[in-house]
């Protein structure tokens, strides 16, 4: 019995130490193409070569023909001994290059046995994702990666996301695909840097045109929305982020609605365009809520202030009376009917 207790205590201590060690391990940035996920391992097997990649070429039984070679700036392998002409490597797999090397050496060796292995993948710059994401990252891509995968690797978007995504190209496409999303003229890429704008709402709906392939070297920014501030007699005064279109009525609703003693008149303090100071814009929230007047679209950095009615005003006395009636009613129900 004592031995069993000692064994259980030792097991508990080892588990605690194990969890402590895991907690102290430094977090590593996400890398697409790591061997940890099967889809990424599959991507490595289908890896397309590019300038700067290093290959280990082995010709069995012919050590003088075996060497490490680098894909040159033109995308070719030209440094292998006894090659009559360079072998094209860019945008091809190691298996395809292996067959071409075997064919080239078949002129000198009967049935050459050749293996080609990628030892260094240096042809692709990492893509960068930043802005309103939980884990801004540089992401290495060993295969074609869509926008939604990059956002997932960055931990998803935060509450400050405005709803738009900017994708900017910094490198020419190494292996352009026919019919690629970025070749679609309807997207109207903007500027000399090849920037395109996409909507998160379209991405959530599964629209293919909103989920492009991300190129190595791309800069992806999940834009942050501009703030507006709701203060005064609302149940939850707070800062809100403008996503697409935010109106006064919706902002007050998101702040928990008006308090019982709140005024119907609401002030919006808006920064004057191109000059110092603020405009004081006044709206009747009751009329907006009842559909008598159109709702008001808010602008970045608007301050919404809901005033409080005086206790002796008509609305204040009315609310006070209603509160007293509710209180008396509650007492009667509690003590007179149930009991």
Q: Which residue has the higher pLDDT, 311 or 265?
A: 265
- CATH superfamily for 48-120 is wza like domain (3.30.1950.10)
On whether the CB atoms of residues 130 and 59 are closer than 8 A, the answer is no
Return phi, psi of residue 125, to 5°: -75, 145
Domain residue limits, the chain: 48-120, 127-224, 227-308
**DSSP for 110-172, written as a single string:** SS--EEEEEEE--S-PPEEEEESBSS-EEE--SS-EEHHHHHHHTT-B-TTEEEEEEEE--S-
DSSP H or E stretch at residue 98 = helix 94-105
Looking at domain 227-308, its CATH class is: alpha beta
Residue 319 has pLDDT above 90, yes or no: no
SS3 (DSSP) at 264: strand
Q: What is the pLDDT of residue 179?
A: 44
On whether the CB atoms of residues 24 and 16 are closer than 8 A, the answer is no
Confidence at 86, pLDDT banded by 50, 70, 90: very high
Q: What is the pLDDT of residue 39?
A: 34
Q: What is the pLDDT of residue 177?
A: 64
By CB neighbour count within 10 A (0-12 exposed, 13-18 middle, 19+ buried), where does 33 fall? Answer: buried
Confidence at 172, pLDDT banded by 50, 70, 90: confident
By CB neighbour count within 10 A (0-12 exposed, 13-18 middle, 19+ buried), where does 52 fall? Answer: middle
On whether the CB atoms of residues 139 and 150 are closer than 8 A, the answer is yes
Q: Do domains 48-120 and 127-224 have the same CATH topology?
A: no
- What is the 8-class DSSP label of residue 334? I
pTM: 0.63
The percentage of residues in the chain with a pLDDT greater than 90, rounded to a whole number, is: 51
Distance (Å, rounded) from C-alpha 73 to C-alpha 122?
12
* Residue bearing tokens 């190691």: 94
Residue 28 has pLDDT above 90, yes or no: no
Q: What is the pLDDT of residue 31?
A: 46
Distance (Å, rounded) from C-alpha 118 to C-alpha 226?
46
Return the CATH number of the domain spanning residue range 127-224. 3.10.560.10
Q: Compute, in degrees rounded to 10, the torsion defined by CA atoms 276, 277, 281, 285.
A: 110
Q: What is the pLDDT of residue 327?
A: 45
Q: Which of 85-89, 166-170, 316-320 has the lowest mean pLDDT?
A: 316-320
Q: What is the pLDDT of residue 178?
A: 53
pLDDT digit string, tens, across residues 29-65? 444 444 333 335 445 567 889 999 999 999 998 888 8
């Amino acid at each position: 019995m004592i031995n069993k207790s000692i064994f259980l205590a030792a097991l508990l201590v080892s588990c605690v130490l194990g969890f402590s060690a895991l907690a102290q391990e430094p977090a590593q940035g996400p890398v697409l193409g790591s061997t940890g996920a099967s889809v990424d391992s599959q991507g490595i097997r289908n890896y397309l070569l590019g300038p700067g990649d290093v290959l280990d070429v082995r010709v069995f039984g012919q050590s003088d023909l075996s060497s490490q070679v680098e894909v040159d700036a033109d995308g070719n392998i030209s440094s292998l001994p006894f090659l009559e002409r360079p072998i094209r490597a860019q945008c091809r797999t190691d298996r395809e290059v292996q067959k071409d090397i075997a064919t080239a050496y078949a002129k000198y060796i009967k049935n050459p046995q050749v293996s080609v292995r990628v030892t260094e993948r240096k042809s692709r710059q990492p893509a960068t994702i930043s802005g309103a994401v939980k884990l801004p990252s540089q992401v290495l891509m060993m295969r074609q990666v869509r926008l939604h995968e990059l956002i997932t690797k960055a931990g998803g978007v935060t509450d400050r996301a405005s709803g738009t995504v900017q994708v900017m190209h910094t490198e020419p496409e190494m292996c352009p695909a026919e019919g690629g999303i970025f070749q679609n003229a309807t997207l109207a890429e903007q500027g000399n840097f090849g920037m395109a704008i996409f909507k998160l709402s379209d991405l959530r709906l599964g629209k293919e045109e909103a989920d492009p392939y991300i190129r190595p070297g791309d800069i992806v920014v999940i834009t942050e929305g501009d703030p507006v501030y709701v203060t005064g007699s609302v149940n939850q005064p707070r800062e809100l982020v403008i996503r697409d279109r935010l109106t006064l009525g919706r902002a007050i609703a998101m702040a928990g609605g008006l308090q019982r003693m709140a005024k119907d008149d609401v002030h919006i303090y808006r920064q004057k365009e191109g000059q110092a100071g603020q405009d004081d814009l006044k709206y009747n929230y009751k009329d907006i809520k009842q559909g008598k007047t159109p709702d008001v679209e808010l602008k970045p950095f608007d301050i919404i202030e809901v005033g409080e009615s005086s206790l002796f005003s008509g609305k204040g006395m009315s609310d006070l009376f209603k509160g007293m009636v509710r209180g008396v009613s509650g007492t009667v129900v509690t003590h007179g009917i149930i009991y």
